[in-house]
Amino acid sequence: MSQNDQPTLEGLTASDAFNVIGTLVDLAADTGNLKLAEYALELSNELEARGISDAEASLLDYFRANAWSCRYDRRHQEGDRVWDFEQEELQQTIFFLRRAAHGPGFSELDALRRCQILTNLGNQFDALGRFIEARACFSSALLIDPNFWMARANRGRSFDFFSFVLYDGGHRAVFAYHAHQDLARAVKTIPSYPHLGDPRL
């Protein structure tokens, strides 16, 4: 521990260092403490400077994206700031998720982590109204694990929202049908695979 009681990476193996960073990010998300998110980003830079593998680089980018997402969530609590045209938090979140998903080490990560990265990226695209890219991310996650219900539920929610903005009634019905299929299957899958998603979301 450091003098200010913050964890450090000194003397830690790479595995333990990742656990520290991941824990800080999770605590930041649960408590809304941006100082924890910022410190996790500092430690991420420190760990990267040591020299890490391609797979570790993708995992570190996933943690960085989550830390930036914590900062973006805080922006949403600050009234009109959410409508700012330039939003560094959102840009950085997408940047790190895209780099994690397209980096050479992505395929070396376990299936759960790959699904998490793709689903989070899909969520970011969906929030920006980039439905096609979001759907591609959700579908890619489901190709890795068809039981990853969070990707399926979010894809269904995206279909549902998109159906309301289409001008053609016939097309709306098609999107609504696919939304229902995804959402119904996701609900059936949750009891058997509760760990494949976050029920709070």
- Tens-place pLDDT, residues 61-80: 999 999 999 888 776 666 66
Phi and psi, residue 151, nearest 5°: -65, -40
CA 108/CA 142 separation, integer angstroms: 17
CB-based burial label for 197 (10 Å; 0-12, 13-18, 19+): buried
Chain-centroid distance of CA 63 in Å reads 9
Lowest mean pLDDT among 3-12, 108-117, 138-147: 3-12
Question: What does pTM read for this prediction?
Answer: 0.88
Amino acid, res. 131: F
Question: What angle separates helix 169-189 from helix 149-165, to the nearest 10 degrees?
Answer: 160
Q: Does position 151 have pLDDT exceeding 50, yes or no?
A: yes
**CB neighbours (10 Å) of residue 1?**
8
Q: Which two tokens stand for residue 49?
A: 């400077």
Share of the chain above pLDDT 70, in %: 91
Q: Which amino acid is at 11?
A: G
The span from the CA of 9 to the CA of 114, in Å, is: 25
CA 63, CA 58: separation in Å to the nearest integer? 9
- pLDDT number for residue 85: 65
**Res 107: pLDDT:** 96
Tell me the C-alpha distance between 144 and 166, whole Å. Answer: 30
pLDDT the model gives residue 165: 79
Q: Which residue do the tokens 């400077």 mark?
A: 49
